[in-house]
Chain A
């Protein structure tokens, strides 16, 4: 039975309905945390200003802002210049009616603005605080700068990737940001449970650095016990063979094949049409295949090279062999499998333009993924994507009770801007 079939027809509230979260900060990990909490039903209020736009709105170059729905959907968005005294007071007032305050600004910056954590707790004693840092909020590196893609080097992952004697192996993304972005909402939900049961609040400090190191795996123990550095094996495995990527027809096309046991190897051999070379006795056992891996890989590559990677994946899977095409953007976008799961969905966005208020930005069409935890009874919402400042009237008027004339005055004065 599929998850879809399990979904009951009774409408229920979302898991975090009734929880209010203030999100204060740019880039990847913090906005992702807000998107997840918002999609789980929390009212996430993102505080930003037209005066200093999130640099992420200007990446990617192919359309400014087109990638933003992936990080910013499912939230209410307000504009507030917290560097002004009135802006600061409004920020603290907002924290005063919120369950969670989360930020990724550095300590000295928060101090300068007067939005330190004691000031927040003064307004709401049990406010849960998540403070996301780059390298740490205390300790020797607390003033140090970092950014996404380079943290994979700092975290130890790049020297575990690729072949020995090659430069560090790099993935072209902000490696650790995503770990932090998913660790944080989990910790926040736990802190909300703890608060309900004990009345206690919590201040939690995360770091992009630590989130990355947490994923280094058993190699951290192997070094301590055996004084051994992780072996850089490229696509090979310590145990399984064959285990690698093999070329296919087309430009930059590959398939990954991993046969962990003799049965899967026999499946692969059969799918190849039982060629004579593959019947050699040295390939009968896992250890034999591992020892003769170079010749084995050459034989497999000669077979895969003229084939279509997607069709080959289907044929190998049908033969019981774990295999996957190395997917490109087109494969993911057009994937019938992902479409049937409604993983990618269409969304609007606004084309970011410096020096122009976000409400004046042109609207466009984009695509964005769904959060990959499918809850059967309370499905995680894809979430609406709203523009910067779209919820000023609700937050400042309804929530904080400012009369409209006062809101107009603050807009005029560049406080709500």
Chain B
């Protein structure tokens, strides 16, 4: 276990040293660990992480220090540059790995082994090392060498099969959703392995590290367990498919247009239906809605879907999203706004519950931005407030301060394009 003498619990995660070799498909893993206290060092090629060359940028002007994509996925990390393609770069990496607690990587599965810096080689110099590898289809199995990005993983996991409208092709969830599940499981696995090494195994810690294999395909399959795709096939020989914005079984359930946007509503219990019917009647004067024919539980209205949807739309168009949301909730109904990113940034609940972390950027073109780091609210610990690092910002601290390289050696490495 590293020495945590200076750690007083001001962060949730102790300051474990973690080397982050991931691309944007798994960068969220290191971010989660860094936001909550780990010392995550992003190891970038000398030209910088490829996502630095990916927009959006302020005013759409490309600039490697201003990629909002890079900034989002790399808060609270440090940055060093290192060319893993060169023998000298790999030697420095071995020295860094000797003192690291964990490594996260998302290269093709043989990349590090082929360069002599895979898990087995590194654990020989650091038996306590934990290493998580995130790949599209996992480190073993028939598809282990298959290539995949967000779109391909979303397809091959079946997540796309249930996204979109029933009469249209499958659609990608627009937030590059596959970047999160695998990264979250990798972070979980790293913490579990470090706990075992330092605090588990009969309490004194096993002292040994381990390798963690995370398949993005598998991770995303577990994120739509509601739909039970394999189970439905086994039991009924049926395949799950897309249901669209609104349910055809539970009415109303889904998103419906109103005065200034969309309201999400879901009416499940008989009591909720009665409350909604009464409200529709108050607003529209419609008596039909109070009919006994429509009363009952969530599937009792299925045969009346057209008329009920029409009555609901006629009612909803009288209100704004916020009016329906708050009055609906006051009437004990599950009414929720369909938010866009502007709505989220203005939402009072998120603002008051410490969700947004204000991060200052020295670059005036960026200024202070709100980041969604406060996943947990706690009086005892809070996420860090450091922006994503500039390229190689911590080269001196790490290479000179920790590895003890002198100025001449650093200059030579720089001249050779290794750092």
- Most chain B CB within 10 A, of A171, A328, A343, A377, is at A171
Among listed A80-88, A249-257, A353-361, A406-414, interface-contacting one: A249-257
Interchain CB contact (< 8 A) of B68 among A137, A160, A218, A258: A218
Asked whether, in the complex, the Cβ of A67 is within 8 Å of the Cβ of B372, the reply is no
Contacts A234-B171, A332-B230, A336-B142: A225 and B155 contacting too (C-beta < 8 A)? no
* Nearest-neighbor residue (CB-CB) of B188 within chain A: A186
Interchain CB contact (< 8 A) of B177 among A215, A338, A370: A215
B264 at the interface (CB under 8 A from A): yes
How far apart are the CA atoms of A328 and B156 in the complex, in Å?
A: 9
Interchain CB contact (< 8 A) of A373 among B195, B214, B253: B214
How far apart are the CA atoms of A224 and B369 in the complex, in Å?
A: 7
A112 at the interface (CB under 8 A from B): no
Asked whether, in the complex, the Cβ of B195 is within 8 Å of the Cβ of A192, the reply is yes
Q: Which residues, 132 to 165 on A, are CB-close (under 8 Å) to B? A: 135-141, 143-151, 153-162
B353 at the interface (CB under 8 A from A): yes
Contacts A3-B213, A182-B181, A196-B199: A36 and B188 contacting too (C-beta < 8 A)? yes
Contacts A16-B195, A193-B198, A374-B213: A71 and B225 contacting too (C-beta < 8 A)? yes
How far apart are the CA atoms of A240 and B14 in the complex, in Å?
A: 39
Contacts A178-B223, A326-B155: A170 and B233 contacting too (C-beta < 8 A)? no
Asked whether, in the complex, the Cβ of B234 is within 8 Å of the Cβ of A367, the reply is yes
Q: Determine the chain A residues whose CB is within 8 A of the CB of B194 once the complex forms.
A: 193
- The 22 sampled A-B contact pairs (Cβ below 8 Å) are A3-B140, A6-B210, A16-B195, A139-B349, A145-B329, A146-B334, A149-B266, A154-B336, A159-B340, A172-B224, A193-B191, A193-B194, A197-B14, A202-B12, A203-B379, A210-B375, A211-B375, A220-B72, A258-B151, A327-B156, A327-B158, A341-B138
Among listed A271-279, A283-291, A316-324, A389-397, interface-contacting one: A316-324
Asked whether, in the complex, the Cβ of B375 is within 8 Å of the Cβ of A206, the reply is yes
Contacts A1-B113, A254-B170, A322-B148: A138 and B161 contacting too (C-beta < 8 A)? no
Q: Determine the chain B residues whose CB is within 8 A of the CB of A141 once the complex forms.
A: 329, 349
* Nearest-neighbor residue (CB-CB) of B233 within chain A: A329
Q: Determine the chain B residues whose CB is within 8 A of the CB of A209 once the complex forms.
A: 349-350
Q: Determine the chain B residues whose CB is within 8 A of the CB of A191 once the complex forms.
A: 12
Q: Determine the chain B residues whose CB is within 8 A of the CB of A113 once the complex forms.
A: none
B412 at the interface (CB under 8 A from A): no
CB distance from A317 to the nearest CB of B (A): 5
How far apart are the CA atoms of A196 and B191 in the complex, in Å?
A: 14
How far apart are the CA atoms of A217 and B28 in the complex, in Å?
A: 10
Q: Report how many residues on chain B are interfacial, defined by Cβ distance under 8 Å.
A: 163
Asked whether, in the complex, the Cβ of A156 is within 8 Å of the Cβ of B340, the reply is yes
How far apart are the CA atoms of A201 and B241 in the complex, in Å?
A: 45
* Nearest-neighbor residue (CB-CB) of B249 within chain A: A61
Asked whether, in the complex, the Cβ of A333 is within 8 Å of the Cβ of B230, the reply is yes
Q: Determine the chain B residues whose CB is within 8 A of the CB of A217 once the complex forms.
A: 72, 175-176, 179
Contacts A159-B339, A205-B378, A337-B137: A190 and B184 contacting too (C-beta < 8 A)? no
CB distance from B351 to the nearest CB of A (A): 8
Q: What 6 additional pairs, Cβ within 8 angstroms, besides A369-B218, A377-B196?
A: A13-B201, A28-B225, A159-B262, A159-B338, A220-B372, A317-B145
Asked whether, in the complex, the Cβ of B345 is within 8 Å of the Cβ of A214, the reply is no
How far apart are the CA atoms of A22 and B290 in the complex, in Å?
A: 45
* Nearest-neighbor residue (CB-CB) of B4 within chain A: A197
Q: Which residues, 134 to 153 on B, are CB-close (under 8 Å) to A? A: 137-143, 145-149, 151-153
How far apart are the CA atoms of A189 and B130 in the complex, in Å?
A: 16
Q: Which residues, 358 to 388 on A, are CB-close (under 8 Å) to B? A: 366-378, 380
B200 at the interface (CB under 8 A from A): yes
Beta-carbon contacts of A104-136 to B below 8 Å, as 1s and 0s? Answer: 000000000000000000000000000000011
How far apart are the CA atoms of A142 and B223 in the complex, in Å?
A: 26
How far apart are the CA atoms of A194 and B380 in the complex, in Å?
A: 11
B180 at the interface (CB under 8 A from A): yes
CB distance from B227 to the nearest CB of A (A): 5
How far apart are the CA atoms of A322 and B257 in the complex, in Å?
A: 38
